[in-house]
Each structure stands twice: as C-alpha cells, then as structure tokens.
Chain A
C-alpha cells in the first residue's frame, strides 16, 4: 500500500495520544497539506480501518465533493459509517446531500438511523418527501429519526408531514413526532410566523403525549402568543400538576414585557403559601419590571414562608422605599424573620440608604438603636463619631453593637478608640466584645505594618492581661513588626508574656519566623519555651514550600539545637517527608549523633527509596555510608 508521509504522520497522531503544541501544529499542517486525492485513494484501498477513520476526519476539514462517493461507500460499514458521516456532514454542496439521501434506500436499522440523523443536521429540504415516507417505517427508531430530522429541516412541507402524522402515529414514535413539531414551530416563530407556530404548539400540547412533550409545547404556546399568552401561563400556575407549575415559574422569568408582572403579583396573592413563596422569587428575578409594592406587602404581612421569601427577594429588588418597613420587620419577635430582614437590610443596594441609616441614628432608641448600629457595621457606614457616643449607653446590647460597628468601620487613626476599650473598658462585661472588635479592625487594616506599629505602641501602657490579648491580635495581623514585637515579649521578663509569645511564635504561619524561632530555641528564658520554639521552627521546615537546600539547612540547625530525642526525630520526619539528595546526606550524617544512629539509618533508607522511585541515583551516597 502506498502511503504518503503526511498521512503516515496523521495516523501516528492517533496513537501518539498527546502531542505538544508545536508537534500538534506541525501535524495539523501536514494533514492539511495531504492531497485530497491521496485521502480518497486511501479510502478506496485495503488500508486498515483505523487509517480510513482518520482520513475521514481530515476530509471533514479539507474534503470536497470529489470525496463523497468513497465516503458514501462507507455508510454501510458498521465500523466506519459514523467516521464517514463526520466528513459527509461537513462537506458543503449537493453531492453530500444526495449521497446521504440515496443511502436511505439501501440502509436499515441503526445505520439508516445515523444517516437520517445526518440528513437532519444538514437540513436538506430535498429530503422531506423521503423522510415523510420514513415516518411510517415499521422500525420505530427509523421513524423517530425521520421525525426529528424533519423537525430540524423545519420548513412548511416538513411541518405538514409531521402534523399530519401526530395523532395517528404509534405510541413509540409519537413523542419524536411531537419533538419534530416543536422544532418546526420554533423555526416558524424565529422567522416571524407566530400564527403557525402557535397552531403547532397548541396541536402538540393537546395530543396524547408524554408530559415532557406537553411541557415543551405549552411553553412555546405561551411565548408565541406574546401578551395574549398570559392567561395560559396563569393557567399553569394554578395547575394541580407540579411539573406544570414549575414550567410556569420558569416561563414567567423569560416572558417579555411588563404586563406579566402585574399578573404575577395578583397570582401570588391568591396562591397557597408554598407556591406564593416560589412565585415571589420568580417576580424578583424580573428586576426591571417587578411590582415592588407587591413584594414589599408580602414581606410585611402574611404567612411566614411567604414573608421570608419576600424579605429575601427585596435583597435583589428593594430600594430606599423599603427601608422603613424593613427596619420595622427587623425588630419583630420571630428569629427567622428578624435575621432575614437584617440580611436584606445589610445588602439593600444604594448609598442613599447608608445616608438614611446614618441620619436615623442620633434620634433612634429602643430596639431600633442597636439594629441601626449593627447595620452601620454591616454596611460599613462611616459614622464613627456618632457610634462612639453609643459606647456610653447604659444598655449592654447597644454598647456591644457599637463596638462591633466600630470594629467594622474605624480607620487606622481611630484604632485607638478600640485599643482604649480593650485596655480599660468602662464596663467589664464589654471586654470580650471590645477585643473582638479590635481584632476585626486590626486584621482589616490595609497597611498591616502601620497597624502593628500602633498596637505595639499601645502595648507598653497596658496591664499584662491586656498585653496578652494584644499579642494575640498582633499574631492575627501578621507581618514583620508583629513578629518582632512578639519575639521581644517571648524573650522578656514577664512569664505570662513569655508563654503567650512563644506559643504564638510556635504556630506562626510564615517562614519569616524561622530566624526568630531558632534564636528563641536557644535563648528563651525557660526550657519549655525553647522546646516550643524549636518545634515551631521544625514545623516551618515541614509545612512550607522552599528550596531543598534551605529546608536541609533548617533541619541541620534544628539538629544542632535539639537536646531531646523527640525533636531530633521530628527533624528526620521532615527529611523523609521532603526527600532530596541533600536531605539524604543530612540523614546519613545524623547517624553520627549517638542516640540517633538507627533512626537516621532508617530515615536515610526511606529517603533513598523515594528518590530512587523518581529516578534519582543515590547509590554513591548510600555506598559511602555503608547503607546499600
């Protein structure tokens, strides 16, 4: 068999499975340069089916009518028929249409079904007569394929044959005929012929068909009618059948215009609570035309399920006109209602609402006052001075709300307000909330180094308990300044701060802490803190991505510093977890540590095995260590 070089490459492409970008492009170009004549000759030859398959794929892109006869010959080949149709569906011109149509005379079963499917994809209007005949085939699969193909062609003749067969078709074919009808109707509608589209949809939805076909036809019948389809849509909302109600929910969302919105509002008000809750969600998805007053009314009163849905919907469609009502709702007694209302108030769009909340704050009282303070925090409204006044309030819930609001809104230059509350709260019961607020504000600051500087300054003038709290907050803030401040505390004279500082450093989440921890492991005022620091140091080597040499250097440092066997074992664990050649060398070296010989040998073998599995040659190292 004669095979051109490019064609050989294209076959090789099949087996190659993955080809690099460059290689792929090269192959692609080669394939395109393959002469169509050669591809046709290959199809005509006794080449293996695999090569013919790829020839078909190449002809799909570059083949012409000249290739059609050989491709058509493959339509009766169970192995290659669909490969052939890949090309026949793609090659433009009458030849491919005619070949597919002609093949329907001789094919049967699935091969005929496939050919009909391809005729449908190509929308060959000359095939309508033949397909109309095949609609009555004894083979229900063939008849069904013909029905769908006619639907894809979708012209007047196709629609006529489908509509004429709908009622009389056997059950196993009728559903496909209905699908073909719906496809025709869609095409008519797209071409502006809503009258015929509506007729078809109506015919289908009144036929004896599976529910899904009825759903498709009903949806079409509603939309094809325009505003006159609203009654049919509402009929579905009232249907006792759940699928039809669900269809209504979906179709309402895609219905054009604004007349439907009024109808939905009316429908919602008379529906059962379960359905009304869902209708409200559909209403709210029509953000441009929703009848807001209806949603707001449903939010204010009625069954709880409906209210919850409406209050939630206001998150999307509400505006400042809803503020007063929502503020009232948010201080009701029902926990679910209150929480949903608060969530909506926090999310209600518009700067104007921020202004209105800020304006209400000075004169508010009762339950509304803490609510407004909460909203100041959640919406991050910048009214710090007004909120500060609430810190003097006699009601703890008001003070707590104010502290939390400050945590969400203060800027760096006002951080001192919260620091003061932590350092010396006027009401001891506020201490915990004040600490939360300071933490929230501190970790929120864009410039964490500046924030840490502020906190560090404050540290000096605080009592010990508050200092520990501030160290915790500094740990959450992170960064160089925080690290340095905590290190100083850990090495200082105060035992409580030594404990807090070494604990925070021991769980520090950045490699930046490594030098600090190593220093502390050697110089901390108590052995337990030294151990804690060393374990933190080893933990950094274990957790973080870093070059092998850096990790091994840290492990070496840890081994040099470790006094106890436990920490030395942790180092070996790190080396085993991150196997590398330098790591192996260190494990071998660790054999010399008196109480570590066996464990280090075992670790070395584990590392060596892992490295060997990756193709790394470790024989020399092992040999030198006598570990082969």
Chain B
C-alpha cells in the first residue's frame, strides 16, 4: 500500500457526519419517503404485496429485509420442500400476527394470484432466470438473487423480457446500494482516477462447478420434496440427497454444468457487476484470455482491462474490487472500508462505512422503484452485462484460450466452439 494511502474508517465517518451529512456519501434514498406515502402507517392501498419463491438460507435473510419495510405485506411462500414451506410460513405469520400466509409447491400457482405485486426469488441459481422470466410474464415485479443467469443467451433474453414486460427487476447485487462501493465506482466512472486502465474483480476460485449425475436414491414423496420441480429447467438426473442439499447447488454451480458457473460467476456476479458500474455500465469486454498465474485478463472496447484476480488484495474483506486509473486508484471490500491512492480523492467528502454487505438498502431501492417504475440499481440491463462478462470469461477458461466477443451481434468472432457455449436447452416444458 502506498504511504499516501488513506483508509476511510468507520470512526472517521461517524465522527464527521455529525456535521456533514450532506457532504457524505451515504446509503441512498430514491425519493423522500413522504412523497411516496411510506411515512408512518401505510394504507393498504399503498402496500406492496409480496410472495416468496425458494426461501432458504439466503432467501431467509432477504425475507427479513422485506419484512422490516413498513409498506410490504408478505402473503405467500412457495417451496418444493414441505418442511421449508412450513418454516417460512411460520416466520411470516409471526411477523404478520396471523396465520394467513399461503404456501405453494408450484410457483406458478403463486404467480396466478392477482393480489401479489412483487416476488422475491431466492431459489438455487438453476431456477433464477427461468423463474424470473416466468414471473415477469405473469405481470409481477421481482427481486431475484444472483447469479441471475446460467449463460449468455439467458442474460440477453432476461434483459429483453424485462423491457418487453415493463417489469421492475432487481438482481440481488446489493453492493450497488452500499455507499463505499458506490463511491469507489463513482471515482472510476467520473474520471477522478484519470483514464481508467484496469478494474479488478475477485472471482473466488477460477474453477468449474458441476453438480452432476450422482447415483439414484429413492425419490421422496413429491409433497415432501418435489424433485421434478427442483430440477425444473435443468436436464434430468435421478434424485440424490447431495444434489438437494449439496454445496455446489447452493453455491452457484448447481446444474450449470461443466460449461459455465463456478466461482467466476458465483462471485463475479457481485465483483464484476461493480466493475461494470465503474466503467459506466458499458457493454461487457470484447476480449477474454485464458487464466495465467491466477489472473484472467479481459479487455473492454475502450482498452480498459477487467482482471479477475485471485490474490494480491488489500485485506478489506470479501468481494474486493480495485479500480486503477492513470492518476489514482481505489480499492474496496465487504468490510465497508475503502483505500485510496491519495486522500485528495475524497475531496473533503466522507463515506459512510457499512460493513457486512446488508441488502436492506437494495430491497428498499427495489420497493421504491416498484412504486416509481424507475430502473433499480441492479436492473436487468446491468445484470445482463455483468453476467455476460462472467460467462464469456468462463468460456475462455474452459477452452483454455482467448475468445473475442462482438457486442453488436452478441457472438464470439469466428469462434464456433465459443458460440455454441452461449446457450443451453432447457428441460421440457420450460422455456424462456
């Protein structure tokens, strides 16, 4: 770290914001709450009625973020696991003070309800894109956990679908609504670091994950575990408990197969997403190289490099990103701290330090956008570009060579192998 590096610590912000709230980079608000009618008691007509699909460990956290919002009425939950259906219902009923939360095994029945405005999708990644697009076509807005898509084609169709259906889509990329990441991206995007030369993302393991086809075990009663629904759009394979509860499925590998997924996507959907924000949400890189010495280097049309890097980070917590320009750099991570090449970059501002990457602000952003119909921070176009960058990097990683991507045609240039890896058929009857 440079001697000039200035670390913006929690104590720094807390002490300065006493008198500097306006000059601080703080958790964002979209519109004064009173202008949206969410101060005090919220009349039923102004409440957003929400249902949840696949509320497991991560979804349980998201659910808490929704429930703490006064203008949310959570009314239904869907899960292919009976036990979890009951557990989540109990949480919601307890919060609502009644026993009215309805449960479903098939999410399409939940989507058929006319009273539900929005949906929280927190299934395994296998389902995200298909569930999101089915939700949009059913006329609901959605907050969808990441990684959102399994391949390039899904990413493009997702963005098109959200535009066509005029739905509000928020990917679970909550770091876009945290002030220190926002500040770091702003420095890069607005030229405060000089001409941007490199943006770094942490892939958390450049490896392929595949849940695979494990030995068949007796399939549970569908009412207890609906295996067919669990597989959903993934190609068929026999029931095996490890696939139901396994590490891979939960961590973004799942059914993504040997041709995509893994750490590049699992973590890249956060880190690369921030890099994309730093470069102004421009189209994804046009060139991706095979990994070498723990680095996978991609290059944007502008010449800026996107570097997936395993090591060499300043210890600022998980999900670190670093942006380097010709005159300065900034690095940020999940601790809520940022490190700057020079304190001058602060320009007298203070940055609110919020560690632990909470999703509260991201959920609030989504709910506000449901009301205003504005595009939320983690909108489908932004998610699409970040995911394409991850998928294309994975293709270079898998092929072990450079691939070049044409953003105008959304094809790899003169590269049939890579082009064939842009999409993958869904199991019947599912389609996008």
Which A positions have Cβ atoms within 8 angstroms of B? 13-21, 24-25, 27-29, 32, 49-50, 53-54, 57, 60-62, 78-83, 85-86, 88-92, 110-111, 113-115, 117-118, 120-121, 141, 145, 148, 179, 182, 186, 210-212, 215-216, 219-220, 243, 246-247, 249-251, 253-254, 274, 277-278, 281-282, 285, 304-305, 308-309, 312, 336, 340, 342-343, 346-347, 377-380, 404, 407-409, 436-437, 439-440, 443-444, 446-447, 476, 478, 509
Please judge, given known A-B contacts A343-B22, A440-B19, whether A249 and B373 are in contact too, CB under 8 Å. yes
Question: What is the bound-complex CA distance between A379 and B236, given in angstroms?
Answer: 60
Tell me whether A92 and B19 are in contact (CB under 8 A): no
Q: Which of B98-106, B272-280, B421-429 contacts A (4 or more CB under 8 A)?
A: B421-429
Tell me whether B431 and A117 are in contact (CB under 8 A): yes
Tell me whether B420 and A90 are in contact (CB under 8 A): yes
Question: What is the bound-complex CA distance between A378 and B428, given in angstroms?
Answer: 59
Tell me whether A446 and B431 are in contact (CB under 8 A): no
Q: Is the interface of B mostly helix, strand, loop or mixed?
A: loop
**B403 → chain A closest CB, angstroms:** 13
Question: What is the bound-complex CA distance between A215 and B139, given in angstroms?
Answer: 9
Question: What is the bound-complex CA distance between A525 and B207, given in angstroms?
Answer: 59
Question: What is the bound-complex CA distance between A27 and B198, given in angstroms?
Answer: 31
Chain A residues whose C-beta falls within 8 Å of the C-beta of B47 in the assembled complex: none
Chain A residues whose C-beta falls within 8 Å of the C-beta of B397 in the assembled complex: 21, 24-25
Query: B398 within 8 Å of A by Cβ?
Result: yes
| Interface 1/0 per residue, B322-348 and A, CB below 8 Å | 000000000000000000000110111
Please judge, given known A-B contacts A61-B259, A211-B139, A308-B32, whether A17 and B211 are in contact too, CB under 8 Å. yes
Chain B residues whose C-beta falls within 8 Å of the C-beta of A437 in the assembled complex: 19
Question: What is the bound-complex CA distance between A407 and B20, given in angstroms?
Answer: 9
- Given pairs A29-B400, A49-B213, A247-B166, 11 additional interface contacts (CB within 8 A): A21-B397, A60-B424, A114-B429, A117-B425, A121-B425, A216-B164, A277-B36, A440-B16, A444-B12, A444-B348, A446-B343
Which B positions have Cβ atoms within 8 angstroms of A? 6, 9, 11-12, 15-16, 18-23, 31-32, 34-37, 137-139, 163-166, 206-214, 235-237, 246-248, 253, 257-259, 290-291, 343-344, 346-350, 371-375, 397-400, 416-417, 420-421, 423-431
Question: What is the bound-complex CA distance between A447 and B342, given in angstroms?
Answer: 11
Chain B residues whose C-beta falls within 8 Å of the C-beta of A115 in the assembled complex: 428
Closest to B212 in A: A14
Question: What is the bound-complex CA distance between A82 and B228, given in angstroms?
Answer: 14
Total contacts A-B at CB 8 Å: 232
Question: Can you give 28 contacting A-B residue pairs, CB < 8 Å?
Answer: A13-B210, A15-B213, A21-B207, A25-B290, A27-B258, A50-B237, A80-B236, A81-B236, A82-B235, A113-B429, A117-B429, A117-B430, A118-B425, A120-B431, A121-B423, A145-B429, A212-B165, A215-B165, A216-B165, A246-B373, A281-B372, A340-B32, A346-B22, A377-B22, A377-B23, A379-B22, A408-B20, A437-B19
**B266 → chain A closest CB, angstroms:** 12
Question: What is the bound-complex CA distance between A121 and B375, given in angstroms?
Answer: 28
Chain B residues whose C-beta falls within 8 Å of the C-beta of A476 in the assembled complex: 11, 15
**B87 → chain A closest CB, angstroms:** 28
Q: Which of A29, A212, A380 contacts B138 (CB 8 A)?
A: A212
Question: What is the bound-complex CA distance between A619 and B299, given in angstroms?
Answer: 54
Chain A residues whose C-beta falls within 8 Å of the C-beta of B138 in the assembled complex: 212
Question: What is the bound-complex CA distance between A282 and B374, given in angstroms?
Answer: 7
Tell me whether B428 and A62 are in contact (CB under 8 A): no
Please judge, given known A-B contacts A92-B416, A114-B427, A219-B166, whether A13 and B258 are in contact too, CB under 8 Å. yes
Tell me whether B164 and A182 are in contact (CB under 8 A): yes
Question: What is the bound-complex CA distance between A17 and B18, given in angstroms?
Answer: 52
**A192 → chain B closest CB, angstroms:** 17
Question: What is the bound-complex CA distance between A25 and B423, given in angstroms?
Answer: 20
Question: What is the bound-complex CA distance between A91 and B399, given in angstroms?
Answer: 18
Tell me whether B23 and A380 are in contact (CB under 8 A): yes
Tell me whether A250 and B15 are in contact (CB under 8 A): no
Please judge, given known A-B contacts A28-B399, A92-B416, A408-B19, whether A509 and B428 are in contact too, CB under 8 Å. no
Chain A residues whose C-beta falls within 8 Å of the C-beta of B347 in the assembled complex: 380
Chain A residues whose C-beta falls within 8 Å of the C-beta of B375 in the assembled complex: 253
